[in-house]
Chains A and B, each alone.
Chain A
Amino acid sequence: MNIVVCVKQVVDPDVPTSAFRLDDETNRVRVAEGIPPVINGFDENAVEAALIVREETGGKITALSVGNDFAMDVMKKPLSMGVDDLVLIDDPQFFQLDAYATVCVLSEAIRKIGEFDLILCGRQASDWDNAHVPLGLAETLGLPSITMAQQIEISNSMVLVHRVFPDGYEKVEADLPALVTVSNEIGQPRYPTLRGIMAASRKSPIVWTARDLGIDPARFEPKISVTGLSIPPSLGECEFIEADTEAEAGSRLAQRLREVKLI
């Protein structure tokens, strides 16, 4: 079983909005100096899913990322969690790739990695919240795509997935090779063990550039482009209910809601 997991380096979504800076020139969000990026949370869920599958089937997991300005200790996390290889497509020309270009680069990289049975991705990235790349990748590679996995099983060259559904889950299956996106319901990503961290520190990622993949980034034409970015204003005035004790504040809140006919 060869598994490729796509991971993306993103701005830490837990950073408070107050540390957000908008870069008007590039229409991107920056955070204050010194706040490290993270691997997109859902991608860590995908790494976890890959490790669970490998425990059953054996085989090899390659984590794959496209970007530039990688923070190496951040990007090595999948290695310390237990994946076998890390491939970084690192090229200054890949600054601000849109989803289409990302799909193009990822698909070329996956072809270069070679044989695979399963591609796993996070359900969406916490920066642009697009949820396009996995679907575009499946379309480009001609693979079945299954989104929002909360459970993945492999048997008889098939993948059986429980997909998170608004009011429950849906069971679906497809022949391998296939692409599956993973949601947080799959469970917490495991913490790297000390041994994992040591092993990861000795491993170097495989680094490819646009040229290694035979891609000319100048040819990427945006199909849709960001023309502005702003921080939405907050709604405004909260009326704080105060009282001598917290219990009293509770009943006063109810009275106040009655006064304004909310209950």
Chain B
Amino acid sequence: MTEILIVAEQLDGGLHPVVGELVTAAQGLEGDRALVVLGADLNELSKTATSLDVDEVYVVEHRLLLEQTSEDLFVAALEQVCRQTEPRVVLIGRTFLGRDVGPRLAYRLGVGVAQDCIGLKQNEDSGRVVVTRPVYGGNAVATMAFGQQNPQVVIVRPRIYESVEKDVSRNSEIIPLTVNLDSSMMKVRHIERVKSEVEGVRLEDAQVVVAGGRGIGGPEPFSQLSELADILGGAVGASRAACDAGWADHSLQIGLTGATITPDLYVTVGISGASQHMAGCSGAKHIVAVNKDANANIFKEARFGVVGDWSNILPSFIVAVRDLSTG
């Protein structure tokens, strides 16, 4: 019997990186682990899935799942999988899809759900799952305990857990499941996806990120930030204030309601370090802050800081970084 069901979301035809992280999270709980892969033509993908540390791989194939664009069908399929396999826990990544699918699934099944968790464990006495999750924009952290219904739906923040190592000799059992889907379940119709033009390294994959906030005062200084990012082989990001002001594209927003970044080096310029911003960069190994206010919150989280006007500091910093990088 499966006790922990891990939803294997796809990304560009492969498994989403969060799936390996969910397996790691599941290792901390008692019980057999199963991955559920949903789509059409899943031969390759289910093979990849068997190399993760799980006992079973449920394969749900349906032609309507080919496009992977309908959240409605995804929820309907998962609901049926849960009713068939009766898991105790369902783990879902807090991706764009997962953060909607998780609550919808829970409400359909009439069970509890915890959004955006950064920790989970099993209560030794009750056996129920206890999660930790940032609340109040990251200003506080709550511990929450599930009541008696199953499954306990846990949505896990990406990049908190290390991904489990792949082991091709592992060969978990593949079990096909049948679901009944029809196009009338697709209440929301997908028309198209329009990508914004962002050059260079993807923010979320970057090892170096250089970001600007309200303190840089306008759109022009972003070209200096780009220059710096180019020298360091990194990506440019922004605070919500800078995005809302129209100085940077919304896809560059870092934070609770923007991108989650995990670079080695994160350079912030004119960003105050509000908890909602920090929620997106708590995985950055080293934060460097330039801010004119010595009491700005960003300095509480930063490893290195310069207090002053960025327009006097940044140009010489860029020159020195370039010299050091080429020299």
Contact = CB atoms under 8 A, between A and B. Distances in A.
A111 B120 CA distance: 37
A185 B250 contact: yes
A251 B323 CA distance: 10
Given A139-B108, A253-B313, A20 B321 contact: no
Interface stretch (B42-50, B55-63, B130-138, B162-170): B130-138
A164 B116 contact: no
Interface stretch (A76-84, A167-175, A192-200): A167-175
Nearest to A124: B257
B325 interface: yes
Contacts of A239: 303-305
A91 B189 CA distance: 39
Given A27-B142, A184-B244, A234-B300, A240 B306 contact: yes
Contacts of A146: 188
A256 B305 CA distance: 11
B286 to A, nearest CB: 6
B145 A240 contact: no
Interface in A114-140: 123-124, 126-132, 135-136, 138-140
B121 interface: no
B144 interface: yes
Interface residues of B, number: 87
Contact of A227 (B144, B192, B265, B300): B144
Given A234-B301, A238-B305, A253-B304, A135 B115 contact: no
Nearest to B143: A228
A167 B138 CA distance: 24
A58 interface: no
Interface string B248-259: 001100001101
Given A22-B140, A166-B96, A231-B140, A222 B147 contact: yes
A160 B189 CA distance: 9
Given A232-B141, A253-B288, A263-B324, A168 B112 contact: no
Interface residues of A, number: 82
B187 A175 contact: yes
Interface string B293-323: 0100101111111111100111111111101
Given A223-B112, A238-B304, A263-B265, A172 B299 contact: no
A239 B304 CA distance: 5
A254 B321 contact: yes
Interface string A138-178: 11100111110010000000001000111111111111001
Given A225-B144, A235-B301, A249-B308, 4 more contacts: A139-B107, A143-B187, A223-B113, A239-B305
Closest 6 CB pairs of A and B: A223-B112, A254-B320, A250-B316, A144-B187, A246-B312, A250-B317
14 contacts: A127-B136, A130-B103, A168-B193, A168-B196, A170-B193, A171-B193, A229-B140, A235-B300, A246-B308, A250-B312, A250-B313, A251-B319, A253-B313, A262-B264
